[in-house]
A and B are shown apart, each in its own frame.
Chain A
Amino acid sequence: MNYGRRFLILWVVASVVLTPIVAIFVGPEIPPGNGSVQAAGQVLDNTVLVSVMTPVLLFVLLFVAFSLSHFRSSRSDTGDGPADRGNSRIQMVWAVVTTVTVLGLATFGSYQLIQDGAGGGQGPSAAFLPAGYASALNVQVIGQQWAFTYRYPSYGGVETPQLFLPANTLVRLNVTSLDVVHSFWAYQLGVKADANPGVNNVVYVQLKGPQSFDIRCAELCGLWHGYMFDTGHVVTPAAFKKWIAEQVAFYKPIEKYLPPYAPFYFPEPTHRAG
């Protein structure tokens, strides 16, 4: 049997055995988990990607290993290999297969993105809308050096230093910044959106059950960037109602010092702060 056929059989067998194992056991374990519909969609993407990559990875690794085991020569050998300068059929097959794979992956990724926005920042006029977007709960995320604060326009624009969200609800996060570029990363929710000054960066997230989640700044924003982290909470709708009523009452005395709720704010002047 010639070398080419032997290698192809080896590759096909290895791929047929390993790809389902990767798809079933590795893919679903890749974060960010099941904290929201968007996060679960990302896990599906990661599963598809890692499954498609397995045969590609195997092809190159097995090819090099096969060549090394069959075509290795000693240093004293002065002979040359065959003067083979190419084969247009192999080139054509390779170009077609890689292009089709790439087209498939890009189409799948686009489909996942268009379905519900995938949890990424969409700028001021979100185009990739999840079902029922019109009735989403609006929450504003304000990045500044070096903390996130949150405003709830449906509750009189109250501003709080903690983020509480009601479970099993579609939330529209409006992310903006007061100074430099930050990035709001709610890890378990599969949400990331840059906070730019003067921009309202919209994210839709369909929350699932109650849980706590990690919030981090994911864009270098100056001296204390490393300390810009916090914990957010998804709680039952009843607990959320109780919590937000407490916040409204608690911050009532200072409400008059807040600017009215707006898509973004321009505090003056721009100070240097490291």
Chain B
Amino acid sequence: MRRLIGFHLGTGVVFGVIGWYLGWFLGHQIHAESIEYFSDIDQNDVSIFLGYIIGVIGFLAGLGFLNYPLSRVAGRPAGLPADKGARRYFGMATDHKVVGIQYLWGIGLFFFIGGVNAMLIRTELLTPHSQVFPAGQYLTIVGTHGAMMMGIMSSAVLGPFANYFVPIMIGARRMAFPRLEALSFWLLMAAGGILTTTIFFGGFPTGWTGYAPLLDQANGGMDSYICFFALVGLSMCVLGLNLLATVMTMRAPGLTWFRLPIFVWGVVTTAALMVLASPVLIAVLGMGALDRTAQTTFFITSRGGSSYLYQNLFWIFGHPEVYILALPGFGIILELLPVFARKPLWGYKLAVAGMLGVTLLSWLVWQHHLFMSGINADSRPFYMFSTELISVPTGFTFLCGLMTLWRGRLRLTVPMLFCLAWFFNFLIGGLSGVFLADVPSNVTTHGSFFSMAHFHYTIMGGLVFAFFAAIYFWVPKMTGWAFNERLSKIHFWAMFIAFNSTFAPLFAIGFLGQSRRSVTYPSNLQFLNDWVSVSAFVLGISMLVFLYNLVYSVAFARVPAGSNPWGSRSIEWQLPSPVPPNDFDELPVFTGEPYGYGTNDPVWRPSAAPAPAGGST
């Protein structure tokens, strides 16, 4: 009985639904009907917002987030949740390794939903006119795909892999704020759930960017988008803050900033962007919510607002956001290449400088999304320059990665294949970005399928390929079970070929005049679109191969991975697989540079061991 009524996901969902109806009821007391805006169906925006907000509070209460603060207020001793076994994964867990695995499955679920939406988009685009879905449904599918992929996948690396491995890599046993760590995960799950409920309120027509005044005009499904993205922003902010605090304050003795594994640098720069960018997102969505409920007219030009206000604020968040998606990829690639090239990372400080440069420059380029908008048109040469300048620090990453390969002893394992594919994909993505950064070329490519192909090459070709490299590299450490090598290779080659076959023709399609997010297209482009759709279906099937491989390896085959299958010298591979609950028997002391391949220099030693003569600590 206690198992049923305890604090876990089931209670959370029940409390969440109760909270939703409470909010819905309250909303109707406050705001009977939206007469000015709406007349045909009962969609009370105040009710929807209150329903979501109180629903999320109920969901978190059901998971047990209020137990600790309420106990403290009541003056009773407060313990942390101490669930054992599989139950840990369905509640508020404060072990960073449990949260990492929760994140991996949670993000996988919404990645799957976003991917199914992509398949539906390509099904519709088999023909030049609306065939399968009505125009409104099509826009909802496009918007859900975009919002899922941009929102949930922002945490795709920092959620699972940084939560799991950053404490280990810096020689700590936990994150700085374990309850915030759990909060960031469950907020993200609440957000994903809310976005899927948009279909009950008619969907939303704006795509993932949610441009106002269309945002003000759209029907109730828009409220789901606003709540979704604001919660994603909150989750990202909490996640980033926690990781920054952890790396700043909890590094083991001897682990100076320039001895950090480069993956941790990727995490730190991403976390800094998350903390600084997501408040802007929450603010602009809050303005949208007020426009829709309290008629504040922030974005209604005829009443003193401005459509530019939304575009400016959204992209001040939106451009750092795309580097929130790219930087973890840089970190993973540069972390994995030394292991499989059997060489130290080449130009460590240059790689760090590259990441810091991208972090800084990403704040100075947002108006390149507005080159055609007529806003501040005279400053376009500056934004053209600052945007193209980002290729310099990105080029540092490429140089460090390439030179790490040089004269190494390359082992083509599956994670290594994904790393090499990243070079190809991100190169194409980066070079196509220069067309978009160049104003005269941008006239044709802006808002076309060219820009869509560009950011799929950088985000899917960059982030998602790096994400899979990380999965094949680190998941055996997390679960203790090895992947099936043959299935992994089938997955890689199918995904790499189908990915390029899907997105390379879209560059041409964009240049030939196909507009983004449009359910119709010129009929002379049907052959190319059909080619892309078929390739996209193969890409989708390759993901099912991966899913089968994951379930088969973890649940059925159960081949032990061993503690260090890759021969890595990094500290997490010196622990047993899976990592034991308390991580280290003895906390480590770091004594040398990371990536000591080709040398006998020890990177670290247990704190109890005596310091070797002449060794630096």
Which residues of A come within 8 Å of B, CB atoms?
A: 3, 30-32, 38, 41-42, 45-46, 49, 53, 56-57, 60-61, 63-64, 67-68, 71-75, 77-87, 90-91, 94-95, 98-99, 102-103, 105-106, 109-110, 112-114, 118-124, 126-128, 175, 179-181, 183, 185, 187, 190-194, 196-199, 201-202, 214, 216-227, 229, 266, 268-274
Whether the pair A185, B515 counts as a contact (CB closer than 8 A) is yes
In the complex, whether B468 has a CB less than 8 A from a CB of chain A is no
Whether the pair B217, A106 counts as a contact (CB closer than 8 A) is no
Whether the pair B217, A222 counts as a contact (CB closer than 8 A) is yes
Question: Are A223 and B409 CB-contacts (below 8 A) given A80-B597, A118-B443, A273-B217?
Answer: no
A82 to chain B minimum Cβ distance, whole angstroms, is 5
A243 to chain B minimum Cβ distance, whole angstroms, is 25
Hey, which chain B residues are within 8 Å of A109, CB to CB?
A: 381, 384, 437-441
8 contacts between A and B (CB under 8 A): A83-B596, A83-B598, A105-B434, A180-B217, A185-B447, A219-B211, A227-B135, A272-B218
Whether the pair A80, B36 counts as a contact (CB closer than 8 A) is no
B280 to chain A minimum Cβ distance, whole angstroms, is 20
Choice from A60, A202, A227 contacting B402 with Cβ under 8 Å:
A60
A15 to chain B minimum Cβ distance, whole angstroms, is 15
In the complex, the 9 A-B pairs of residues with the closest C-beta atoms, listed nearest first: A83-B598, A198-B301, A201-B374, A226-B519, A218-B447, A123-B374, A73-B409, A266-B302, A110-B381
Question: Are A46 and B435 CB-contacts (below 8 A) given A120-B443, A181-B214, A219-B211?
Answer: yes
In the complex, whether B14 has a CB less than 8 A from a CB of chain A is no
Which segment, of B58-66, B392-400, B581-589, faces chain A? B392-400
In the complex, whether B307 has a CB less than 8 A from a CB of chain A is yes
B537 to chain A minimum Cβ distance, whole angstroms, is 22
In the complex, whether B344 has a CB less than 8 A from a CB of chain A is yes
Whether the pair B380, A113 counts as a contact (CB closer than 8 A) is yes
Which residues of B come within 8 Å of A, CB atoms?
A: 36-38, 130, 135-136, 138-139, 205-207, 209, 211, 213-214, 216-219, 300-302, 306-308, 311, 341-350, 370-378, 380-381, 384-385, 388-389, 391-392, 395-396, 398-399, 402-403, 405-413, 420, 423-424, 427-428, 431, 434-435, 437-444, 446-448, 511-513, 515-520, 522, 567, 593, 596-599
For residue A114, which residue of chain B has the nearest CB?
Answer: B381
Q: What is the CA–CA distance of A202 and B519 in the complex, to the nearest angstrom?
A: 28
Report how many A-B pairs have Cβ atoms within 8 Å.
323
Q: What is the CA–CA distance of A224 and B348 in the complex, to the nearest angstrom?
A: 52
A161 to chain B minimum Cβ distance, whole angstroms, is 19
Q: What is the CA–CA distance of A220 and B286 in the complex, to the nearest angstrom?
A: 21
Q: What is the CA–CA distance of A29 and B432 in the complex, to the nearest angstrom?
A: 17
A77 to chain B minimum Cβ distance, whole angstroms, is 6
Question: Are A190 and B444 CB-contacts (below 8 A) given A91-B347, A102-B392, A106-B385?
Answer: yes
Whether the pair B444, A32 counts as a contact (CB closer than 8 A) is yes
Q: What is the CA–CA distance of A110 and B386 in the complex, to the nearest angstrom?
A: 12
User: Other CB < 8 Å A-B pairs besides A60-B423, A110-B384, 11 of them?
Assistant: A63-B402, A77-B411, A81-B342, A83-B343, A83-B344, A109-B439, A109-B441, A124-B374, A179-B217, A218-B446, A272-B37
A36 to chain B minimum Cβ distance, whole angstroms, is 11
Choice from A82, A105, A124 contacting B343 with Cβ under 8 Å:
A82
Whether the pair B406, A67 counts as a contact (CB closer than 8 A) is yes
For residue B601, which residue of chain A has the nearest CB?
Answer: A83
Choice from B342, B405, B438, B446 contacting A105 with Cβ under 8 Å:
B438
Hey, which chain A residues are within 8 Å of B406, CB to CB?
A: 3, 63, 67, 71, 84
Whether the pair B344, A218 counts as a contact (CB closer than 8 A) is no
Choice from A68, A179, A187 contacting B410 with Cβ under 8 Å:
A68
Choice from A57, A123, A198 contacting B302 with Cβ under 8 Å:
A198
Whether the pair A106, B381 counts as a contact (CB closer than 8 A) is yes
Hey, which chain A residues are within 8 Å of B381, CB to CB?
A: 106, 109-110, 113-114
A232 to chain B minimum Cβ distance, whole angstroms, is 13
B181 to chain A minimum Cβ distance, whole angstroms, is 34
Whether the pair B136, A274 counts as a contact (CB closer than 8 A) is yes
Hey, which chain B residues are within 8 Å of A110, CB to CB?
A: 381, 384-385, 439
Whether the pair B135, A223 counts as a contact (CB closer than 8 A) is yes
B274 to chain A minimum Cβ distance, whole angstroms, is 26
A74 to chain B minimum Cβ distance, whole angstroms, is 8
Whether the pair B302, A197 counts as a contact (CB closer than 8 A) is yes
Whether the pair B409, A120 counts as a contact (CB closer than 8 A) is no
B550 to chain A minimum Cβ distance, whole angstroms, is 23
Q: What is the CA–CA distance of A109 and B381 in the complex, to the nearest angstrom?
A: 8
Choice from A42, A126, A270 contacting B213 with Cβ under 8 Å:
A270
B82 to chain A minimum Cβ distance, whole angstroms, is 43
For residue B300, which residue of chain A has the nearest CB?
Answer: A270
For residue A74, which residue of chain B has the nearest CB?
Answer: B411
Hey, which chain A residues are within 8 Å of B348, CB to CB?
A: 85-86
Hey, which chain B residues are within 8 Å of A225, CB to CB?
A: 135, 139, 205, 517-519
Hey, which chain A residues are within 8 Å of B38, CB to CB?
A: 272
Q: What is the CA–CA distance of A216 and B517 in the complex, to the nearest angstrom?
A: 12
B210 to chain A minimum Cβ distance, whole angstroms, is 10
Q: What is the CA–CA distance of A198 and B307 in the complex, to the nearest angstrom?
A: 9
Hey, which chain B residues are within 8 Å of A114, CB to CB?
A: 381
Whether the pair B307, A181 counts as a contact (CB closer than 8 A) is yes
Hey, which chain A residues are within 8 Å of B343, CB to CB?
A: 80-84
A5 to chain B minimum Cβ distance, whole angstroms, is 13
Question: Are A53 and B431 CB-contacts (below 8 A) given A64-B420, A83-B598, A223-B135?
Answer: yes
Whether the pair A226, B520 counts as a contact (CB closer than 8 A) is yes
For residue A67, which residue of chain B has the nearest CB?
Answer: B405
Whether the pair B138, A85 counts as a contact (CB closer than 8 A) is no
Whether the pair B392, A98 counts as a contact (CB closer than 8 A) is yes
